[in-house]
Amino acid sequence: MPDYQAPLRDLRFVMDEMFAFPCHYARLPGGDEATPDIVNAILEEGARFTREVLLPLNQSGDREGCLLEGGEVKTPRGFKAAYRQYVDGGWPGLSAEPEFGGQGLPHSLGMALSEMICATNLAWGMYPGLSQGAADALRHHGSDAQKATYLSRLVEGEWTGTMCLTEPHCGTDLGLIKTRAVPTDDGAYAISGTKIFISAGEHDLAENIVHLVLAKLPDAPEGSKGISLFVVPKFLPDAAGSPGERNGVLCGSLEHKMGIHGNSTCVMNFDDAEGFLVGEPHKGLACMFTMMNVARIGVGIQGLGLMEASFQDALAYARDRLQMRALSGAKTPDKPADPIIAHPDVRRMLLTQKAFAEGGRMLVMYTARMVDVVEHGQDADERERAESLLGLLTPIVKAFLTEVGFEATNEGVQVFGGHGYIQEWGMEQRVRDARITRLYEGTTGIQALDLLGRKVLMNQGETLRIFTKEIHKFCQAEADNTALEEFIEPLSRLNAEWGELTMGIGMKAMNDREDVGAASVDYLMYSGYVALAYLWARAARQAHEALGGDEDAFYRAKLDTARFYYQRLLPRTRAHAQAMQAGAESLMAMDADALGLGFAI
């Protein structure tokens, strides 16, 4: 059976040693509550809850799935009780404002907890996970009445939230949605339409579900400029704010999926459902982006959690599984064969998982620090800088960590060999669960277009320069540090090349806009590898400075992993650089009909 131990020592290395989170928290309003003792207690209790409560439900939830009966969904056995424990423990409101029933702790702390949840039971974690985005959207854009009705119940976990965006015919192109919102005499709107792929759209965990729905008013302009956002509860709140009359929203069917079987992914039918406008008419997409940005970082954390869990089980298996002798001679002569961890290729797979997981954790917590500053920072310049960096890094966190996360979970199956393909070991489930992370909340291609087209080229690379300048200053500061020479020289070179490649693509795009789309995914992956190289160099510096104490083994392992990343993974940037410079010609030259030639005799 799979096991999991929250990587608390590594998390403390990242938070306390690399990024000085105790000092960071002390500078935030209310940060005096996030003392090291409190933070440690929360992380340790989160580790216990996820391992003892959520992990045992992961495989059973995958086997059972959800059941739809008469428009009502029953979640797998144990899910409802686990959710009640989660709510009773106060976990939903960890990072929410006290005025709405939250604990007011920094968002980054909640993101650290999210990794543990995703690692132990991704399908379950999606039920409360979506509520945070719904609450954020209402907090930023909802009316006072909407906040009073919905926010505290979402924050406390009494109700859950969804985001109802896409429809059968439009996918990511939300300007094509057909769902309509017709004004009624009482100031509400009658919402009619069908939404698909709605995670946690219907379930039995909470007494009400608050749907945030994109729809178009009768006078809406064409395209994305005509989208409005509405709050549509499953049960209409009565005068006391309790669930009252059933609204005209129903789960039409459950999607039959590759993975995350324990989560109810629904087709939701809105039949003159009563809804209430959130924000201004035709400004719904801007409101929804508040929710989507939270969700995109959350999906990146899903990729991180799954690869960490896969790595832990693969490592344990590789230590125990006996097969063949090491090429350099027997390592366990008293046994019939050596553990497979002695073989170089198994080491390659394990270290790939380890380097991506630990590097991904650095990237998440670096980004999480920016989230704290954007939400609570007191210095306007610091907040503006953090907001720019957050805009740049969000598509990288989402897409890069899910791409390498899927790779890493696959490597976990490979370490197990044939046993990895068998359900009882739990490795193949992680691959199935991880596959969706590259798709929802915007595919890798969509994130790549957002990064290159909107976040970089649209402002002539100004946002990118904020990050590359930080890397440049780090490299300058460590230029004479001979202990870090193997990291600083290649990082400095890649950092300069990053800007040069960006400029080259921008110049090409002036003649052919297709070059942006042709280069975008390779550009995003290149950016992800360089961002992790920067963080691994910082980790190496921190580890080197800490040598000479009681934890030398931990710090030497950090240096060894950084070395592996630079020598075996970072060279992938060469292929991405060459591909992104190839232009669009080889992609677009062939006529669409010619793609199918060769099928007939």
What does 470-503 look like in DSSP terms, one character per residue?
HHHHHHHHTTT-GGGHHHHHHHHHHHHHHHHHHH
- Tally of CB atoms within 10 A around 308: 28
Please state, in angstroms and rounded to a whole number, the distance separating the CA atoms of residues 468 and 474. Answer: 10
The letter for the amino acid at 525 is: M
Please state, in angstroms and rounded to a whole number, the distance separating the CA atoms of residues 190 and 182. Answer: 5
Task: State phi, psi for 277 to the nearest 5 degrees.
Answer: -65, 130
Please state, in angstroms and rounded to a whole number, the distance separating the CA atoms of residues 397 and 369. Answer: 13
CA angle 17, 23, 29 (to 5 degrees): 145
Question: Which among 134, 67, 76 has a CA at the least distance from the CA of 100?
Answer: 134
**CB within 8 A of 452, min separation 6: which ones?**
505, 516, 519, 520, 523, 524
From residue 300, alpha-carbon distances to 308, 341, 403 in Å are: 13, 29, 9
Two structure tokens written together for 127: 């039920």
| Radius of gyration for the alpha carbons in the chain, expressed in angstroms and rounded | 25
Question: Which among 246, 90, 110, 206 has a CA at the least distance from the CA of 156?
Answer: 90
* Residue 300 burial (C-beta neighbours within 10 Å; 0-12, 13-18, 19+): buried
What does 125-180 look like in DSSP terms, one character per residue?
HHHHHHHHHHHHHHHHH--HHHIIIIIHHHHTTSSEEEEE---TTTTT-GGG---E
Q: What is the 3-state secondary structure (H, E, C) of 462-475?
A: HHHHHHHHHHHHHH
β-strands 160-164, 209-216 pairing: parallel
Please state, in angstroms and rounded to a whole number, the distance separating the CA atoms of residues 57 and 506. Answer: 49
List 297's β-bridge partners, or say none: none
From residue 57, alpha-carbon distances to 2, 52, 116 in Å are: 11, 9, 14
Helix 107-141 and helix 79-88, axial crossing angle in degrees, nearest 10: 90
Please state, in angstroms and rounded to a whole number, the distance separating the CA atoms of residues 147 and 213. Answer: 16
Please state, in angstroms and rounded to a whole number, the distance separating the CA atoms of residues 383 and 378. Answer: 7
List 68's β-bridge partners, or say none: 73
- Tally of CB atoms within 10 A around 407: 15
For the question of residue 255 being annotated catalytic, the response is no
SS3 content of the chain, % helix, strand, coil (to 5): 65, 10, 25
**CB within 8 A of 451, min separation 6: which ones?**
392, 395, 396, 399, 520, 523, 524, 527
Q: Which residue in the list 44, 441, 486, 514 is annotated as catalytic? A: 441
Which residues are annotated as catalytic?
441
